[in-house]
Amino acid sequence: MRARTYAILTVIALAAAGYFTLPYTPVPAYFHAFTSRVSALTGFGADRIRSRVLPDMEKRLNEAGIAVGAPVYLRVFTADQKLQVWLRGDTRYSEIQDAGFCSDQDTGNAALQTPPPGVYRIRRDDLSPNSPSHVELNLNPLPDDDAPSTSDVAGAISYSLHGNCSDLAGISLNNDDIEQIYLLVDAALRAGQQSVPVHIFEKPRDMDDSLALTEDATNNSPAPGLYDVYAAFERSRIPPDVSKSDGRYHVKPAD
């Protein structure tokens, strides 16, 4: 207990020192960046959630024959304002949770900042258990092999999954849902999953949707090749290995 108290006081002292050595940095932006980084390294914020949420979660997953720490796949349909949580069982993935977006009334203009359709991923250092938005998981777009990284593009918007029904750019969820998603993603990454794939679509598609197939084949869609990504998962219930080049997504053949 004494060591934990000392660590927390050290974090506060470092935050204060950092602020006064950077007097022209706005407090909210700097403090948010600082606490997010410390949160990812220490996991302080996740402890309070884990002890409260994990027992019921483990019981529910055990009944489905799935262990906490199993690989996670997230699929989003923006038109339906729904996020699906899939976990791997013995071989294929099973949907274990649906989460609805916070309403526009709750989030202000957040609906105008929903991530565009595409393939994203969440890595270990994208987790912020002490975010001002309760908890937060940053979404990193799959990089295009033939284009500069998104971080190098001026004015690029950063998206995340977050709680508190806040109006940050991304997908805002109620705290009960984001806590469970956070713990599942955190457990999977700790268990060895390199990154969690997040596939964002406008809406579900029929597998024989000729219009979608035509648009995808001719690059006449917001995210060329994304229909192939959707179809590959629908066929196998295993998230496909995806790359991106020249603005188009490519599904790599299964081994």
Q: Show the low-confidence residues of the chain (pLDDT under 70).
A: 1-45, 104-112, 148-155, 207-211, 213, 217, 254-255
Residue whose tokens read 């002890």: 51
Structure tokens at 74: 């997230």
pTM of the predicted model as reported, rounded to 2 decimal places? 0.77
Please state, in angstroms and rounded to a whole number, the distance separating the CA atoms of residues 64 and 151.
39
Structural domains of the chain, count? 1
Q: Is residue 88 part of a domain?
A: yes
Residues 230, 77: Cα–Cα separation, whole Å: 11
Whether 17 is covered by a domain: the verdict is no
Please check whether residue 8 lies inside any domain of the structure. no
79 in a structural domain? yes
How much is the pLDDT for 22? 44
- Chain centre distance of CA 56: 22
- Provide φ and ψ at 5, rounded to 5°: -60, -40
Residue 135 is assigned to a structural domain of this protein? yes
Domain housing 162: 43-251
C-beta separation of 92 from 240 below 8 A: no
Token pair for 237: 């219930």
- CATH code: domain of residue 79: 2.40.440.10
Q: What is the pLDDT of residue 47?
A: 78
pLDDT of residue 113: 82
Kindly state whether residue 34 falls inside one of the protein's structural domains. no
Tokens representing 76 are 């989003």
> Which pLDDT belongs to residue 154?
47
Give the pLDDT confidence score for residue 251 in this predicted structure: 95
Domain assignment present for residue 138? The answer is: yes
pLDDT digits (tens, 9 = 90+) for 80-111: 999 999 999 988 999 999 999 997 655 554 44
Residue 219 lies in a domain: yes
Where are any strands of DSSP class E within 72-181? Answer: 72-77, 82-88, 93-100, 118-122, 127-128, 136-141, 159-162, 170-172
Q: Which residues sit opposite 40 in a β-bridge?
A: none
pLDDT value for 240: 96
Contact at 8 Å (CB) between 67 and 54? no
In sequence order, the β-bridge partners of residue 103 are: none
Q: What was the pLDDT predicted at 104?
A: 67
Quote the Cα angle for 107-110-112, to 5°.
Answer: 145
